Amino acid sequence: MASTSIAGVDDKELTIHIPDLVKVFKDGSIERLQNSPLVPPSTLGSVSSKDVVISNNPSIFARLYLPTKFIHHHDAHKVPILVYFHGGGFFFESAFNERHHNYFNLFLSKAEADILVVSVEYRLAPEIPLPAAYHDCWQALKWVASNDSDPWILNHGDFQRVFLGGDSAGANLVHNVALRAGAEALPNAVKVLGAFLSQPYFLSTKPIGSEAVEGHEESPPYLVWGLVYPNAPGGVDNPLINPLAPEAPSLATLGCSKIIVCVAEKDSIRDRGVWYYQAVKNSGWHGHVELYEAEHEDHAFNIHTPESENALKLMKRLAHFILH
């Protein structure tokens, strides 16, 4: 699979094509090939959601999810806060799309998870190239920890139990935000308790595990990084995408107490998740890290088929990780 550069005068000619993912045209327009439709927040059965503004400059938003039973009760019962970063290669998907909206309604209801979810809408590449998304997600976490966030968070959130979570590129964001939380103080001395990284998107110039040596530079993960961060210092050995790069911060500085790395057996980037898990385990980090593998599943199966047996099993495992 390779990017395609086509010289010509027609503004609708392709300049970048990553099959099944994205087309970028000479006039600057972009066709994202896997987006699901945007949907409004809702109250569906036991789960309510609403949209909030985190920042107008830059534009950062979020969709909050909370079990409906808490909406009108301002009692002392507080629930863990999950700050979630969606996947989509840094260039597609949304906190407001049907896929993620359905996922969190199912997650809170099917896993019986009394959790407040803050699903972050960060700015997407290539219109706003990386590293913007990393800064947006850090700002979102700071907003959650501040006294200026939403009443749902202030009234119902347990600031002793703040978690980060994400899938694919979102899991990459989790790693980098957790590193920053280990180096910089959050408002009100809030700490991140734990983090889950589901099928994380990492990369390096050197193939690992089952990754093909020949054609590595033409693989979709490699091409995507070139699209979303074309001027990345070090390319795919930039510490943002390669957590074991020579200039990367020590994994021992991750700013949380427990981590679960989730991989899928048939995922082409499965070995990167195992690689990351082993690196954290051997880093001298003082937290607890574990690996969870879903058998017979492919990349982002839990988001694409959230009602499948393995997706529900993973939801329950993540809920247990957050609640216990």
The residues assigned a catalytic role are 168, 267
CA 150 to chain CA mean position, Å: 21
In DSSP terms, 279 is beta-bridged to none
Provide the 3-class DSSP secondary structure of residue 162: strand
Contact 204, 236 (CB under 8 A): yes
Phi, psi of 233, deg, nearest 5: -60, 125
Whole-number Å distance between alpha carbons of 284 and 299 = 29
Beta bridge partners of 267: none
Nearest to 121 by CA among 50, 61, 39: 61
What DSSP letter does each residue of 97-142 carry, written as one string? BHHHHHHHHHHHHHTT---EEEEEEPPPTTTS-TTHHHHHHHHHHH
Decide if 100 contacts 304 (C-beta within 8 A). no
